[in-house]
Structure 1
């Protein structure tokens, strides 16, 4: 195994976010709210947006910087580095910070399509890597995150990552090759639900409800269905059957969805998202060669 040394010793429990966008902020909010980490143990870095960093410091009390010397010191001393930059900046960013990192530090990636092997290649050494796929609901603490670990990640480091993402929702540990189908189910999944909600709201308004009434009823209906499934632990087919009377209104509505090939369409959408995730991952890999 290729190892890497520098002059700094990581400080246990310190987390450095390289990238300070919405996903990084969601994670920081969750870490602090759930008391997983204190504001003083978290640093957030970006290239040039000082206004954004000032906001994050004022809002959460975290350490921020876009000054090269301080950034390099924060990176070197953190025990966990979270890669949260934009995909287009990956090659330049990772190669530029590699000299300040060692294989004693855990690297956590939230970048879509960036494989563990590619991260290690860009770093130039076999760092312990956690590749993750969170979704946007992480910003309100209801995220669903898939996580894959490289062989170098210790059991202690695995637990640290699980604790980090459990602060913003639920977690599933899966083999890396399954992250694309997870992307199709939960990564892109919120958009499918929003799309259906758009249609329900539109139908309500066309039927004479006010925009606010249609919105409120739709939101509460979707929320209630999700909570019902989670709280009862029942299979969705059983819950559906329980409210579907023969020849009733629900049955009539479901017949229309079946005629429109609803189930196969949703399954096809999930698989297409999986395929597109693979395509994007290959594009990232080719761009970094």
Structure 2
């Protein structure tokens, strides 16, 4: 990687900037970023990471071998059309846009491109993202290795087929929010049973970290690990019984299916817009 041009300057873009700089993947002066109009945000990123920013698209893309699309998905059409004349077949286009297919990106750009479509999650901000990646046939083996190195700076990376990315979006892309929701419930219950909130929060966080490490490092399934701590007539059994009575497991399954369906819906809506839109030539 010689130079990366990042279009979009939100939290996901910052996570990658931080990961690239901290891991010294390339020289900081070769990390460039832009956004639509928020100069204050660009200034903050420049000062924090000693990188470069510009609204001059020629300067942004000149010499860039990687272009990262990190704007909001709803802004993808406008943004890609604005930069398409600067995109070349030699560049690797890396998308972190939920629901936006590789074909859609090529349609908006009006040219064939080497594209990586990814689904990281917000834990990228602390280098713990679970990221799934799909590539099109124009991506070379060298670019695949570059992609792996880039995404490894923000967490764990897995390669999948593009049609699996909607499911990944519903599972791990939105997954941190489900865990935060669970933590909220545990915090509220801790207060109701008489625990001090700050202490309870520490216990909850460590419990989640410990459970995740057990699943990660144990040869046992999550089902078996649960059974191992569920003694007949014990406290855990009493709690699990309530979860089963309230169909909490089924609620999580429905939750992930709904998020997956929404990802597909967003992608279909954008494709539909493109089919009816009069795109500039």
Q: Which segment is superposed worse, 119-128 or 211-220?
A: 211-220
User: Does 1:57 pair with 2:43?
Assistant: no
User: Does 1:271 pair with 2:257?
Assistant: yes
- Report how many aligned residue pairs link the two structures: 275
Selected match of 1:192 from 167, 178, 183:
178
**Which residue in the other structure is 1:284 paired with?**
270
User: Does 1:211 pair with 2:197?
Assistant: yes
TM-score, scaled relative to structure 2: 0.94
User: What's the offset of the Cα at 1:182?
Assistant: 0.7
Distance (Å, rounded) in 1 between the aligned partners of 2:252 and 2:8: 33
**Which residue in the other structure is 1:33 paired with?**
22
**Which residue in the other structure is 1:9 paired with?**
none
User: Does 1:73 pair with 2:62?
Assistant: no
Kept in 2: contact 1:76–1:101 (CA 8 A): no
CA RMSD of aligned residues (A): 1.3
Taking the TM superposition and a 5 Å limit, the aligned residue runs for 1:31-180 are 31-66=20-55, 68=56, 71-180=57-166
Q: Which residues of structure 2 form unaligned runs of 5+?
A: 276-281
Selected match of 1:222 from 190, 208, 215:
208
SS of the residue 1:78 aligns to: coil
Q: Which segment is superposed worse, 120-129 or 226-235?
A: 226-235
SS of the residue 1:283 aligns to: helix
User: What's the offset of the Cα at 1:278?
Assistant: 0.6
Kept in 2: contact 1:140–1:168 (CA 8 A): yes
**Which residue in the other structure is 1:21 paired with?**
10
SS of the residue 1:30 aligns to: helix
Distance (Å, rounded) in 1 between the aligned partners of 2:53 and 2:37: 12
Kept in 1: contact 2:33–2:60 (CA 8 A): no
